[in-house]
Structure 1
Amino acid sequence: MAGRIALALVIGLLAVGAQAQPAADGGQAVTVRAARDIGFFAGDLVTAEVTIATPPGATLDPASLPAPGPVTYWLDLRAIAVAEHQGAVTLRMTYQNFYVALDARPLEIPGFPVRLLAGGNARAVDVPPWTIGVSPLREVAPPVKEDPKAYLQADRPAGLADAARWWAVAGGLAGAAILALLPLAYHHAWGPFRRRAARPFATAIRHLRRLEARGETEEGYLEALLVLHRALDGADGRRVLADDMPAFLGRHPAFTSLDASLEAFFQASRRAFFGSAPAQARRDLPFRDLQVLGRALAVAERGRA
């Protein structure tokens, strides 16, 4: 009974001591308000708001604030947040308690000075100390037990979440993603659709990429010309020569916008194969331009109905 009365007195004193604490320093009012004042254990965070009334035109000197770090052997300052208002400055202090208490007792958090700057003058203001109540984590003298393991409580078993619903949701989303990719794969001739006869230019582009990886040579340039020739033949289902282009574009209007590029292609091909001037053909229509033409033909090919 006596112990309970003493504990109640301590708690009462702490409740009074940790309420708003005004202080005056040269007419400057300082108020400390703590979120709570008792029941702190080792490792707990302790927060408090310090409000300092400021005269008109005065500002807080940030260099005068305490630096985060150890304050005492049992207390660390973790952070300070500053908020300036009309006529006041609020400091939100966050400490961490490391005191391992054997019984409930009050501990004092030290105060600290700050400076206010006004018109080139500095005024010192003292933030007063305040108290918190710490509590022990365990009994000082627990009942004697034969097995030391009996002092420890068994771990609480972790709850098992029902994952069946989430597996079903994940499976449904994966299936929807696959179904959404099928039309796109068909459109771009990916995977099983890459060998379709209706997309010869898509195949030609992949062939041109392989030629580019081998390095630009005269032999590779001639092969690139042949690749585009075979793609044109495959798109029309017959051999396509330069004189056949008007009829080809009439049968395949999707390629009409590439008329000038196709004419330049046939001129370069004629010069390379029949004019015995592949070097001149490469200067007139470089390999990179062949790739640009191939990509444009592939895009037009995908746009056909």
Structure 2
Amino acid sequence: MRLIFQLLCLLVWAISCAAQTATVEALQAQFTVHSQTRELGYHLADITLQTVTIEAPSGYVLDASSLPSVGNKTYYDLVKVDTKQQKFGTRTQFTIYLYWQNFRSVQEVRSYKLGALALQFVKDKTSIKVPVKAASIIVSPVIPTVLDEAHLKPRADAKPPAKAYTADIVAMTISALVMVWALIYLAWKNDWLAFGAKHAQPFRLAFRQIGALRKDQGRTALYAAVKAIRNAFDATMQSSMSTEQLSSLFIRYPHYAKLEHEIHQFFNATDVFLFANQPLNISVKELKSFAKQLMQLEQG
């Protein structure tokens, strides 16, 4: 009987422990743990920042006594611990910043484990322990472990990759020549530079004479502009031109036919202006533009 009683007690204890373990695991499952650490690139005395983020159900408070204490550890010294708490809806996020520092020199690349954590969270009378696995980092030696001639002798400077510039130079030269030719053509087309003033073609000379009038819009300037264009027609045909003789102009110089309508209007309006002393409803600016069109046709 005594043996059976002891077996029953042992069975009840085992069931109780199993139930308690299941309850703890169920509570721990409500906690989400993330640990973040840069694993590579450390040397002697470098600081390693480990960021531990734990999301807990609302109401749980971190027990500060469960945080690791600052001081010497197995391989690393814990030099600083910071905590931050923030609420997100029904959950609370705890962020723990752990600053680890290594003062141990090694002669080879070695992997080290930082300290594991067992954080305690309390709610009312309930206490739950949440484990955090130890993070792992890789530490490099302070100096090369093999100091042979290859390590002591400085390496030669790296040469830049060879590049053929011939095609680029040719392309730039062609582009520059095309641009210069275009500028020269535009300057000649629009008479920007006024070269060869003594031997200029008739309408080019008329365009320059009207341009010399500048902003003068009086009757004298208007008369001078009309005479400049009429003289250019006379010089082109080498005879005194009238409205009746325009057909001869278009037969001898067909390219002026593009402005046949405008030329007829100009002669009709200026005949009245010159010979009947009637006002002219054309400005000096418009006459200059007309002379420019004739100049460009004159150039072909």
Query: Same fold per TM (> 0.5)?
Result: no
What TM bracket, shorter-length normalisation? 0.3 to 0.5
State the TM-score, normalized to the length of structure 1: 0.40
Q: Computing the radius of gyration over CA atoms, which structure comes out larger, 1 or 2?
A: 2
State the TM-score, normalized to the length of structure 2: 0.40
